[in-house]
Amino acid sequence: MYVANINFMLLDDLAKLQFPPYRLKTTEMPDPNLSTIIKSRSYPHLSNIIEKPETIQPVLGNENNELYMARQYLRTGQNELAIQSLKNFLMQYPDSTQADEAQYLLGKSLYETRKYSSALRSFDKLLDNHPNSSRRSDTLLKIGFIYADINNYRKAKQVLKYVANKFPGTNEAQQARMKLKQLGAR
């Protein structure tokens, strides 16, 4: 059943969204207590009125919609569409306040599809163009993971030690220390 993205919206609110990831099979409310069902997270009755589209169709025109679209592609495992969408976003909105997030998501998508050299370029671009990004620690962590994945353990250890020392107390620092332990670093 595909209702995870509905969260606690009422179905009639779902139909009003400009950009819904799901569509209604019917416009009639099947159950007068639907609000209670949704809020209680008991969804078995919804499978007959909500369907998941084959692919998410974009409603483009502004940067929020386009970044939302890319995130939806990522959430649904459509990494190639996400990569293309994020590249388009960065070309259309290079000065966006969300450009660092788009650049991070692009690098992450490339990393997850094992396109390591492209992922490294994307992450490097984020670090160069957005030095104060909130994604800096996670970007560096992913760079360390990439170096480990391509068997460049010296660089991997160097980057992961930097993350562990520069961002103490963060989840990224903890993950860096765990990866360093796997790599046998002291």
Predicted confidence (pLDDT) per residue in 44-68, tens digit: 555 454 444 444 444 456 788 889 9
* Contact in structure between 72 and 52 (CB atoms under 8 Å): no
Among 40-44, 107-111, 162-166, name the one with the lowest average pLDDT: 40-44
* pLDDT tens per residue across span 4-44: 333 333 344 434 443 444 444 444 444 445 444 444 444 45
Secondary structure (3-state) at 51: strand
Q: How far is CA 147 from CA 159, 174, 180, in A?
A: 9, 18, 12
Question: Where are any strands of DSSP class E within the chain?
Answer: 23-24, 50-51
Q: How far apart are CA 147 and CA 16, in angstroms?
A: 45
Under DSSP, the state recorded for 163 is H
* Contact in structure between 23 and 53 (CB atoms under 8 Å): yes
* Contact in structure between 145 and 119 (CB atoms under 8 Å): no
Q: How far is CA 23 from CA 45, 58, 151, in A?
A: 15, 13, 45
